[in-house]
Structure 1
């Protein structure tokens, strides 16, 4: 046996408990190094878990760690509250490295912590914070030069992908799919961060920092979720050759960037379209290398814990020179393109009055706004008074489509809701 590595695990939810079991199942040895779990902590000491809590020293508070010899703290609490901040500050004070699965903390407050851990020559591992078991952080930091990457995109949230897959395969509503995800352990009772796109935006922030060697501010990232997605739109999309995914994308346009998390239609034959249930997918495109695709489980205790093991292996191998391949403090702020400069086709669905001349009126409305229509489909009437329409536009900007949506809502011919979905048919 070469070495001993002393770790403290703070947070014993699904991921933390799975990590303990993996270490136990490997007889506490990783890469010829003895892993000593010198302390554990969670909110509830008496909660039943998948391992014997009594085998380990229970950490009542961070100060009780002072008497312990620790190499790494593993933070699996989540969130950005005062206690989480205190864990990072304690690690810096003790001069010990830290591994985390907390994408919110790093995306929202990483500016200070990345720099502090870097300047103190401490490891801050976050593979598990991004795409579960998908080794995207290691791949980018060790294999690809940031200046060569032109875009990174994919499916960065397992919960929403699971819900959309259930809607497609079982033809059930969003609410029914969410209930199923909760029942099967792929969604929390409160999944607002997942459903709103915020979780994916946290991950996109971190991966954009890493991919382009720039500082992306989370508060400047645009994100939208799937709470308002209807089964009817999924079905119409299929008829048009598209499948809907919660797509995360950051691409370089000149010296600036477009970054977005939003429900988008992608081609049915694409890899994006065929990534289902809790799987995550990252696709990296760039100069001087073939497009790289990384696919794996994006949710679940053991898949995520396996990424923590990967970071532990990096630490053991001393293979953790700055993950950004430069001093974080020297990285410049990313600048974003105006939303009018990037154009894509859009899917629009709305209902109109079932009367003569309405279609002509709608066509004239789009013509006056200089919007070219690729196709317009009149669907079977809901009733004798309303007719649903689906319009596919030619290239149009996000900014323009939002203006059009507001104007359509004021049109007396338009009934019920207006659904707009961006079409990304050149990727995946």
Structure 2
């Protein structure tokens, strides 16, 4: 693949610099400029040539970003970077699967310009199409920063483990959710209170939906699954659940049972297809991933020969993400490039993930029930009728606020099942919710035992 850089000498004394144009000067974009300038000698030595910022595009020219942009060409239209004669590589840091980000990357590839992006939504949704464009143009499309910030997840899965058959990939892929779940567990506070704190600290956006509803993690999982299994996974087929439904009570019960609750993205290769899903999980406290707290991410990979690996680090932020972008730029400067999905796009089509009815797991169920004789028997009878076997049960005393009323106080009831088909569990839960003694909607969380 071409690198897009100019050959020969810049001034007769050394190799020509790799000239980059950055679209988006937010936290990561400004951080990249700082990194390339602060570590210019390190980057140049490892790239074999200087890497310099020659052009940028952003919406607000007046904003103070803490960087000097004198001598740098400014474009109001980010798509102009795709045709700037002083740009060898386009760096897209705008974000979003559609709009100007997609237009810029598409035009740059069609113009024969290498592209580096941190845009997980763009790669997850349009990765197959963009890979074909990059291959046709003979230029690299790099996206190390799209998954887990500074953790070298892409290189590990696509290149470091290229010779192995990978059967499983995923992990804790969203630092915002991990921070919220950690704080809820440690403080006993409700989701809404901890979310507000995360927003005040800058760990969550003003509109946190992409994070707390699991969409961000699902974008990253779709990318990891596509790399691990050698073909892109259709993002629309990934099963996604967020953390809004997790109650502080669930974290307390989980701890009593020897678990912690984490939002996990999990993808497995099965004989009948690919399983790709994002949802809260009970994880045994003894597992290393259960100990990954706060804003940290963890990427798990499992291969037939390599066994299981776990990479842990900060999954977002100025420094980690800018470092990942710079690593891709160094590869391009060196002429090191691999196919987007690790193989040629000839005949490469997206694969649909298996539906949730095909999942086969252990389950944690929490019910609020009236505190009277026969309730447990009614619940267990429903589970029995649907072929769901119980492993354990936990019941606390009456709720402090007597949800069921003075004559019918209520208690939380927790049930843990053996492995069963999710289709059976869904049918059983629907029936349990209809029982007169059950108050409100039952809570169900899958158990990831290993």
When normalised by structure 2's length, the TM-score is 0.90
5+ unaligned residues in a row in structure 1: which ranges?
Answer: none
Equivalent positions of 1:46-85 (< 5 A) are: 46-62=62-78, 64-65=80-81, 66-85=83-102
Does residue 239 of structure 1 match 2:256? yes
Q: Which runs of 5 or more residues in structure 2 are unaligned?
A: 1-13
Change (3 A) 1:329 1:189: farther
Distance (Å, rounded) in 1 between the aligned partners of 2:79 and 2:379: 68
Question: Equivalent of 1:284, from 298, 301, 312?
Answer: 301
2:54 corresponding residue in structure 1: 38
Shift of 1:154: 0.7
Shift of 1:3: 3.1
- Cα deviations across residues 271-317 of structure 1 (Å, max 9, x unaligned)? 11011111111111111223221111102111111100110111112
Alignment of 1:98-177 (within 5 A): 98-145=115-162, 148-177=165-194
3-state SS in 2 of match to 1:330: coil
Is the counterpart of residue 14 in structure 1 residue 27 in structure 2?
yes
Cα offset for 1:173? 1.8
CA offset digits 1:226-260 (Å, max 9, x no partner): 01111110010000000000011111111511111
Name 1:409's counterpart in structure 2: 433
Aligned mates of 1:284, 1:99 — CA distance in 2? 24
How far apart are residue 172 of structure 1 and its match?
2.1
Q: State whether residues 373 and 394 of structure 1, in contact with CA within 8 Å, keep that contact through their aligned partners in structure 2.
A: yes
| Aligned 8 A contact 2:79 2:103 in 1 | no
Distance in 2 (CA, whole Å) between partners of 1:206 and 1:388 is 39
Q: Which runs of 4+ in 1 moved over 6 A?
A: none
In structure 2, the partner of 1:252 is 269
Deviation for aligned residue 1:147: 5.8
| RMSD over aligned Cα atoms | 1.8
Task: Quote the residue 1:24 is aligned against.
Answer: 37
Q: Is the 8 A contact 1:186 1:299 kept in 2?
A: no
Match of 1:364 in 2: 381
Alignment of 1:153-232 (within 5 A): 153-232=170-249
Q: Which deviates further from its counterpart, 191-200 or 32-41?
A: 32-41
Q: Is the alpha carbon distance of 1:64 and 1:358 closer, same or farther for their aligned partners in structure 2, counting shifts above 3 Å? A: closer
- Judge which range, 210-219 or 43-52, deviates more: 43-52
Give the TM-score normalised by the residue count of structure 1.
Answer: 0.95
Q: Relative to 1, partners in 2 of residues 1:46 and 1:329: Cα closer, same or farther, differing over 3 Å?
A: farther
For 2:323 and 2:363, the matched residues in 1 are separated by: 39
Distance 1:343 1:63, change over 3 A: closer
Tell me how far apart the structure 2 counterparts of residues 303 and 106 of structure 1 sit (CA, whole Å). 19
Deviations 1:4-59 (A, max 9, x none): 10000000111111111111212475324222211111121111212124452211
